[in-house]
Structure 1
Amino acid sequence: MYIKAPQKSHPFIHLSYLTVMLCWLLLIPVTTCSWLTDLKLPQKLLEYTVRNDDELKRHCQDGDCPLDAATLSNGRCWGYEANCPFEMSYSAEMGVPKCKSPQSRGRFFDQADFGYVRERSKMHDICFSSTEEGSRLRCSDDLRHCHGTNIFFNFKSWNPTNSKRYRDDVVQPGEVGGNCEQLHVDVLRKNMAERGYLRSWAEELKHFESSPTFSVDHKHCDVIFERPTIVIKLDAAVNMYHHFCDFVNLYASQHINGSFSRQVDVVWWDTFSGGFVDAFFGDTWKAFTDSKPVELKALAGRRVCFRNAMFPLLARQRFGLYYNMPLEDGCVGSGLMHAFAHHILYRLNIAQEGPLLDSVRLTILKRSTQFRQILNLDEVSDLKQLLSDNKVWKWKEE
């Protein structure tokens, strides 16, 4: 149950010493144990990721890299970095967004493309320490995205029995904090306006305090997450539209965090007594982690400490992707969405068969619920009779 002896934490992107030793002992070829294996990115995404990360570029300069010097030095960037003009961005290379004017394109880029990441990358120090053992907490505006180091949650007050979903009272005063050299309570208070379970982390962090005696050890912690950990609140898992708001924003948060490693743990922050059931889309988590997610109810009554925790952008932010986002009219295409799609498909080993020459593929998703049905589905199905050499597949989960 992730109760581990303390050890030196490692950054998101690096292989652990143990992994390297196992590769050597088992005589596995080094390429299968490299940082490339952990990243597991398609060629184009790998180019952008390595090119804009100094440490990964050093791996390439050491020769352990499929990218040549010209590719690494061509100046292309994601679009959210400082001094990254749109013309050199990933979206520009992909030919999106397509808009009526450059002004419309700029607005759309900020709303639904990598400009969305740029606006949410501005972080504020709430808890600061100068030592490796000290605590740190940094958050974007309105506590929409946060990153914590050596922090704790004490779930002693929360009883998950008969607990409802979307509760905002799980964390009480004295139950969240760290050991901060500087605690900027004023910054915390100024960013409390955007409250809501799936809007921000305000309710979970509003009682954050500094405890001068706290340290990440088994005297102060019942459970220690040694690996980098994604702590995430989730939208409805039964609906692809809702649930992929979670995954899109998690992917955007990885860009903010600067890491795409799968050597991370995941905590599903769901307050429902029955836990979070992800029967339909649960395999998608394999694109983000190499371990099974931990449910919040499994941590009830325990003092839980995180060496390195990311609290990602959530599904229903105000003007967030993509549930509550009013978009610029007349624009289509997003480099962020394009990269997300290829990231997920590649990591889940999903092959696309096609496009097929002189063929059109039509996919219809039909609800199994009583309401919001497609009223003329039979008419659409009859269209196949008008097409020659067609093939029809029907799939239904019983």
Structure 2
Amino acid sequence: MVLPTSHIFLYLITISISWAGDWGRLELHSNHIPYVLGHHQDLASACASDDQCPYKIVDQCWGYEDGCKGNASFSKNDEPINCASDHHKRDFWFRADFGFIGNIRKEMEAIRICTADVENDSSLICARNAKFCHARNLYIDFRSHTPDRDRFKEDMFEKGMIGGYCKFDESLLKEQGSHPYPLQSWYSELQNYTKLDFQISNDNGRCDVFIDKPSILMKLDSGVNIYHHFCDFFNLYLTQHVNNSWFGKDVQIIMWDTSSLGYFDIVEDAWNAFTDHPVLNLKGFTGKRVCFKEAIFSLLPRMRGGLFYNSYIPKGCVGSSMFRAFSEHFLHRMGVRQDQSTFLPGAKIRLTILQRGSPDNDHVFRQIKNQDELVAVAKEFDEFEVKVVQYNWRTVSFVEQLNITHNSDIFIGMHGAGLLHFLFLPDWAVAFELYNCGDTGCYYDLARLRGLNYITWGDGKIEAFDRGKHHRYGDNPKFWNWSFEPDEFRRLLVRARDALVAKKRDYRTLKIGTNKHDEL
């Protein structure tokens, strides 16, 4: 029997759904439930037949499904805005919104490298250039692997050490080797995939370890840089979409790291949004033959044409429904909620200034030399509630950081990884990159993707300090410290306030009193 196309994605389909009235276990943002149920008919049917299911079944879809259009889609055609042309808007949809998912899923329909004849056979399908792959009944032999200092060893497997029992198209696999770089493709790991002469099962004596949970294999970017690390988490979320997931957390995440080195993770709690189980490291399989019932080779953080590091974002466009969905999903899973008192009449505008290090720390650059002066300017505005924070992972938990960020209306900080928090601002917020240090696109694009108003310092009215102080990068403005003219900062605050009020009014009326700066 040849398996139908619907069996390509097994993550949801192979799960027997029995909620026994405990629908809260979905742990989904309330805005997302109609789309998850609309996308997954098995889940919707289970809900419809359960009197205790509190959700109404409606015909909604994320946007990448065939026939998903208009008001039925998550974006409802309201995103993006401000595109330079209809061409740019369409380009944005496929590069930076749910059309990106649709393209990958279509690629996988054609790249079936290993196909099953019967249900217990193996399979391997991939997106172009092996940027994502899905395997069933996968065999990997780690007995000859010795971890060293190479995190992504490219010649790890010989023929017969990785593979499955299936109809194998070796030439199709070889065609996927155009981008054999560690954080762009899985080709190096899969290039010696072999047709084996035995089926993969838990009782065949060939597997020292058999993992029957869906397993997501990930090659991670830097765990000490929150911006780069969240390229991992964002692509994990996209991986779940590509793989037809309903975002259940009974999955095993495995860090694909072929080295003996440690991996320092400053936002380790973030994994709780995706799995109920500890993240495993590949070195734990050394010396063993490991079999996977289902293995997902996740989308990678630095793919060509991927998201969101160094991504091309079409001209003018603001607001990706996919980035908004990620933000809502992640914050919900982390237990972060909006303080509803912000919508009460007379509520203050919550202005947060992110401080880079302490003034006496000579190893931290891009510090604001006259920060106290700028804080005093902000406090002149009666409608502002000003908070200065330092997101030090040693003293402020990541969840606490998220709560502060998500309950900020204007978020101000110097160029740096901490501005990753733009992703978790509320929809109406203003992202204020005080100075971009010549890197004009990075956080401007991130704010655009998130659908935020963005402000930054222009030319002039700024003074550089400590040029040449850094022993290696002393000529780079990112390794200087800066002072800012208070009057120009005041003008930009008025601009930020006005942009905030105009947008937040769409959510609830925010009362702003007149003050002496209105004329600026």
TM-score computed with the length of structure 2 as normaliser: 0.66
Alignment counterpart, residue 29 of structure 2, candidates 32, 42, 59: 42
| Separation (CA, whole Å) in 2 of partners of 1:103 and 1:306 | 43
Q: Would you say the 8 A contact 1:97–1:335 is kept in 2?
A: no
How far 1:301 moved relative to its partner?
1.5
Q: Would you say the 8 A contact 1:287–1:344 is kept in 2?
A: yes
Aligned to 1:386: 380
Look up the equivalent residue of 2:354 and give its one-letter code: I
How far 1:38 moved relative to its partner?
3.7
1:273 aligned to 2:260? yes
Alignment counterpart, residue 345 of structure 1, candidates 331, 341, 347: 331
Alignment counterpart, residue 228 of structure 1, candidates 193, 206, 214: 214
Alignment counterpart, residue 131 of structure 1, candidates 118, 127, 133: 118
Distance 1:58 1:362, change over 3 A: same
Distance 1:111 1:128, change over 3 A: same
| Separation (CA, whole Å) in 1 of partners of 2:208 and 2:280 | 15
Alignment counterpart, residue 181 of structure 2, candidates 191, 196, 209: 196
Aligned to 1:8: none
Alignment counterpart, residue 370 of structure 1, candidates 363, 371, 394: 363
1:209 aligned to 2:194? yes
Residues 34-58 of structure 1, C-alpha deviations (whole Å, 9 max, x = no match):
xx34421011111101012111121
- Give matches, 1:1-398, under 5 Å: 12-13=11-12, 30-32=20-22, 36-63=23-50, 64-69=52-57, 72-73=58-59, 76-85=60-69, 88-92=72-76, 95-122=79-106, 123=108, 124-160=111-147, 162-180=148-166, 182-217=167-202, 219-259=205-245, 260-278=247-265, 280-353=266-339, 355=342, 357-364=347-354, 366=356, 370=363, 372-376=365-369, 378=371, 379-388=373-382, 390-395=385-390, 396=392, 397=394
Look up the equivalent residue of 1:373 and give its one-letter code: R
| Separation (CA, whole Å) in 2 of partners of 1:272 and 1:332 | 40
Q: Would you say the 8 A contact 1:249–1:314 is kept in 2?
A: yes
Residues 101-156 of structure 1, C-alpha deviations (whole Å, 9 max, x = no match):
32221111111111111111121211111222110111111111111100111112
- How many positions carry a matched residue from both structures? 370
| Separation (CA, whole Å) in 1 of partners of 2:27 and 2:83 | 33
Q: For 1:362, what is the secondary structure of its paired residue?
A: strand
Distance 1:15 1:197, change over 3 A: closer
Look up the equivalent residue of 1:221 and give its one-letter code: C
Q: Would you say the 8 A contact 1:199–1:315 is kept in 2?
A: yes
How far 1:174 moved relative to its partner?
2.2
Look up the equivalent residue of 1:41 and give its one-letter code: L
Look up the equivalent residue of 1:390 and give its one-letter code: E
Aligned to 2:508: none
| Separation (CA, whole Å) in 2 of partners of 1:238 and 1:377 | 28
How far 1:186 moved relative to its partner?
1.4
Aligned to 1:4: none
Q: Would you say the 8 A contact 1:268–1:276 is kept in 2?
A: no
Distance 1:155 1:108, change over 3 A: same
Q: Would you say the 8 A contact 2:34–2:56 is kept in 1?
A: no
| Separation (CA, whole Å) in 1 of partners of 2:130 and 2:219 | 13
Look up the equivalent residue of 2:44 and give its one-letter code: K
Look up the equivalent residue of 2:385 and give its one-letter code: N
Q: Would you say the 8 A contact 1:38–1:263 is kept in 2?
A: no
TM-score computed with the length of structure 1 as normaliser: 0.86
Residues 321-374 of structure 1, C-alpha deviations (whole Å, 9 max, x = no match):
011311111111110010001111111111222545341332425267835523
Q: Would you say the 8 A contact 1:155–1:303 is kept in 2?
A: yes
Look up the equivalent residue of 2:185 and give its one-letter code: S
Q: Would you say the 8 A contact 2:124–2:134 is kept in 1?
A: yes
Distance 1:386 1:237, change over 3 A: same
Identify which range, 344-353 or 249-258, moves more after superposition. Answer: 344-353
Look up the equivalent residue of 1:392 and give its one-letter code: K
Structure 1 ranges of 4+ moved more than 6 A: 14-17
Query: Greater relative contact order (Cα 8 A, min sep 6): structure 1 or 2?
Result: 1
Identify which range, 346-355 or 186-195, moves more after superposition. Answer: 346-355
Q: Would you say the 8 A contact 2:63–2:74 is kept in 1?
A: yes
Distance 1:84 1:104, change over 3 A: same
Q: For 1:121, what is the secondary structure of its paired residue?
A: helix
| Separation (CA, whole Å) in 2 of partners of 1:313 and 1:16 | 22
How far 1:94 moved relative to its partner?
5.6
Distance 1:341 1:101, change over 3 A: same
Look up the equivalent residue of 1:82 and give its one-letter code: D
Over the aligned positions, Cα root-mean-square deviation in angstroms equals 2.5
| Separation (CA, whole Å) in 1 of partners of 2:66 and 2:82 | 23
